A and B are shown apart, each in its own frame.
Chain A
Amino acid sequence: MRANRDRRATSPGWWRVSRLHRVAAYVPTLLLARRNVSRATARSALAVVAVVIGVVAIGAIGTGGEAFKQDQLEAYEGFGGTATVNPVFYPDEEDPDPHFSREEIDRMRQAAEGATVLPVVQSFGSLVRGPSGEVLVTAQVKGLEDPGSFYGTANGTIPDNWRRSVVVGSRVADDNDIEPGDQMTVVVDGQFERTFRVAAVLQPQGFADPLRADQSVFVPLAQFEDPEYGEAIVRVDPATGSVDEAATDIEEEFNSRRRTVDVERVQQQREQFEASFETINQFLIGVGAISLLVAAVTIANTLLMSAIEREGEIGVMRAVGYGRWDVTRLLVAEATVLGVVGGAIGAPLALGIGAAINAVLVGDPLAFTPAGLRYVGLGLAFGVLTALVAGVYPAWKAANKRPAEAFD
Chain B
Amino acid sequence: MTAEHPPRDRHGDGAVERTRPDGGLADPPDPSSAAVIRGEDVVKEYRTGGQTIRALKGIDFRIDPADSVAIVGPSGSGKSTLLNLLGLLDVPTEGEIRLRGEDVAGLSTGERTRERKRTIGFVFQSYYLIPTLTALENVEMPRMLDRTPRRTRERATELLERVGLGDRLDHYPDELSGGQKQRVAIARSLVNDPEILLADEPTGNLDRDTGDRILDLFEELRTDEGVAVVTVTHDAYVAEAADRVVDLIDGELREETAATRADGEGGGEGEP
Contact = CB atoms under 8 A, between A and B. Distances in A.
A320 B122 contact: yes
B54 interface: no
A114 B110 CA distance: 80
Interface in A369-408: 402-404, 407-408
Contacts of B192: 320-321
A239 interface: no
B113 A318 contact: yes
A12 interface: yes
Nearest to A321: B117
Contacts of A326: 145
Interface in B45-101: 80, 83-84, 87, 89-90
Contacts, number: 87
Contacts of B126: 312
B124 A404 contact: no
A316 B126 CA distance: 11
Interface stretch (A28-36, A96-104, A280-288, A294-302): A28-36
Interface stretch (B7-15, B130-138, B236-244): B130-138
Nearest to B133: A35
Interface string A315-343: 11111111110100000000000000000
A39 B200 contact: no
B145 A39 contact: no
Interface in A7-37: 7, 10, 12-13, 28-29, 31-32, 35-36
Contact of A3 (B90, B157, B189): B157
A297 to B, nearest CB: 25
A95 B120 CA distance: 103
B149 to A, nearest CB: 8
Contact of B169 (A3, A28, A324): A3
Interface string B131-172: 111101100011011000100010001000000000001101
A92 interface: no
Q: Indicate the size class of the contact surface on chain B.
A: 35 or more
B109 interface: yes
A85 to B, nearest CB: 75
B254 interface: no
Contacts of B188: 320
B145 A320 contact: no
Given A3-B170, A7-B170, A408-B80, A321 B116 contact: yes
A165 interface: no
A6 B170 contact: yes
B141 A317 contact: yes
B5 interface: no
A316 B128 contact: yes
Contact of B114 (A35, A321, A324): A321
Contact of A320 (B80, B84, B117, B132): B117
A85 B248 CA distance: 102
Contacts of A35: 130, 132-133
Contact of B122 (A7, A39, A316): A316
Given A12-B132, A39-B132, A320-B141, A402 B90 contact: yes
Interface residues on A, range: 20 to 34
B134 A32 contact: no
Nearest to B156: A3
A404 B113 CA distance: 12
Interface string B200-219: 10000000000000000000
Interface in A23-58: 28-29, 31-32, 35-36, 38-39
B145 A322 contact: yes
A305 to B, nearest CB: 16
A313 interface: yes
B145 A28 contact: yes
Contacts of A313: 128, 130
B42 to A, nearest CB: 15
Nearest to B131: A39
B170 A32 contact: no
A315 B128 contact: yes
Nearest to A310: B130
B185 to A, nearest CB: 9
A6 B134 CA distance: 11
A315 B172 CA distance: 20
Contact of A404 (B84, B121, B149, B153): B84
Contacts of B109: 323-324
A3 B165 CA distance: 14
Nearest 3 pairs between A and B by C-beta?
A321-B117, A35-B132, A320-B142
Interface of B: 80, 83-84, 87, 89-90, 109-110, 113-114, 116-118, 121-122, 124, 126, 128, 130-134, 136-137, 141-142, 144-145, 149, 153, 157, 169-170, 172, 188-189, 192, 200
13 contacts: A3-B153, A3-B169, A7-B134, A13-B132, A29-B145, A32-B144, A36-B132, A316-B122, A320-B117, A324-B113, A404-B80, A404-B89, A407-B124
